[in-house]
Amino acid sequence: MLGSGNGHRDWLARELPIVAEGTGKPWGVGFLTWAIDVGAVERALEHTPRAVMLSFGDPSPFAERIRQAGAALIIQVTDLEEARRAVDLGADVIVAQGVESGGHGARHGRSTLPFVPVVVDLAAPVPVLAAGGIADGRGVAAVLALGAAGALIGTRFQATTEALVAPSTAKAIVEGRGEDTERSSVLDIARGSRWPSKYTARTLGHPFLDQWRGREVELAADLQAKQAYQYGVARGEIPALPVWAGEAVDLINDLPSAADLVEALAAQAEDALARAGRR
Ligand SMILES: Cc1cc2nc3c(=O)[nH]c(=O)nc-3n(C[C@H](O)[C@H](O)[C@H](O)COP(=O)(O)O)c2cc1C
């Protein structure tokens, strides 16, 4: 999956051909639904992705166009209303995201353990992937037991050799603890990001979070504070980006290649399922 975020025209023009021409395997492209217009989806579809994933926002304006193009429609959902809408729109795969997740998600989201099986029941026979708080094969085994068809994993893959993150980010993830993570919109407001207030992001600790926690409205109106954040970033005193990390960050202790990681996740999951079966 190529994570295109807001589907910026220049970015798509640069990145889509790299993946389209660079692999004979199925690939897809993901968008932040609230941040795009139909043109971004059209431009992606010109490169015939096997799948298009829509997260965070109303997928209705894009679903039919994606299905017409023959691409699989993957919709990430954070509550039951979104799950029902995804089924109604004919999603081929639904990703049920819990609040344990790293990065953005619903401010008033659901926990992965109870949320996934409800979505599995609601969406059947549409396959459901579980997301949020899965960082090793035991987590994969757990969500398979819940009826998920698989797992969608984010935070864990930032600590792999291929990840395009700063070395300080990978180090922070390897050293981080779940209780050091926090969901907030403070850092989005500080860095001038346009994320709607319905969504918060789970990150590791940050000095700005300590300073502004609970005072988001005040921060949004405080130009000086937001400038101080920008100056801090420019002077290298504040990390250029928040460290987006989920609650399963404790389970991440090494920096493998992505291929080795996938292999290890599968082997651990098989082992965990076999052990559970013996019990
Ligand atoms: C650094 C980072 C960036 C992410 N970017 C996106 C994104 O662009 N689009 C999206 O749908 N989800 C994004 N996610 C969320 C993932 O889709 C997924 O729900 C989440 O990572 C699962 O939880 P986990 O981090 O505990 O594995 C991101 C997550 C992280 C950690």
Question: Under the phi-then-psi rule, with left for phi > 0, alpha for psi from -120 to 50, and beta for the rest, what region is 155?
Answer: alpha
Domain that includes residue 237, residue range: 167-248
Q: Does any ligand 1 atom lie closer than 6 A to the CB of residue 139?
A: no
Query: Residue 84 corresponds to which tokens in the numbers above?
Result: 């029902």
Q: Is the pLDDT of residue 226 over 90?
A: yes
Q: What is the CATH number of the domain that holds 16?
A: 3.20.20.70
The rounded distance, in Å, linking the Cα atoms of 55 and 31 is 6
Question: How many Å lie between the centroid of ligand 1 and the Cα of residue 4?
Answer: 12
Residues 6+ apart with CB under 8 A from 233: 191, 239, 240
Amino acid type, 269: A
Q: What is each CA distance from 148 to 51, 95, 125, 242, in whole angstroms?
A: 19, 9, 11, 30
Same domain, 243 and 260: no
Same domain, 145 and 127: yes
Take atom 16 of ligand 1 and give the residue whose Cα is closest: 154
Q: What is the mean pLDDT of the chain?
A: 96
Confidence of residue 238 (pLDDT cuts 50, 70, 90): confident
Query: Residue 277 corresponds to which tokens in the numbers above?
Result: 């079966």
Q: Does any ligand 1 atom lie closer than 6 A to the CB of residue 28?
A: no
Same domain, 115 and 172: no
Share of the chain above pLDDT 90, in %: 97
Same domain, 137 and 18: yes
The rounded distance, in Å, linking the Cα atoms of 201 and 40 is 24
Take atom 1 of ligand 1 and give the residue whose Cα is closest: 244
The pick from 1, 29, 55 for probing ligand 1's pocket by mutation, whose C-beta has the most ligand atoms within 8 angstroms, reads: 55
Report helix angle 137-145 to 112-123, nearest 10.
40
Domain count, the chain: 2
Q: Is the pLDDT of residue 194 over 90?
A: yes
Q: In what order do the strands lie in the sheet with 51-55?
A: 2-3, 28-32, 51-55, 72-77, 93-97, 128-131, 150-152
Question: How many Å lie between the centroid of ligand 1 and the Cα of residue 109?
Answer: 14
The rounded distance, in Å, linking the Cα atoms of 226 and 37 is 28
Same domain, 107 and 209: no
Mean pLDDT of 207-224: 95
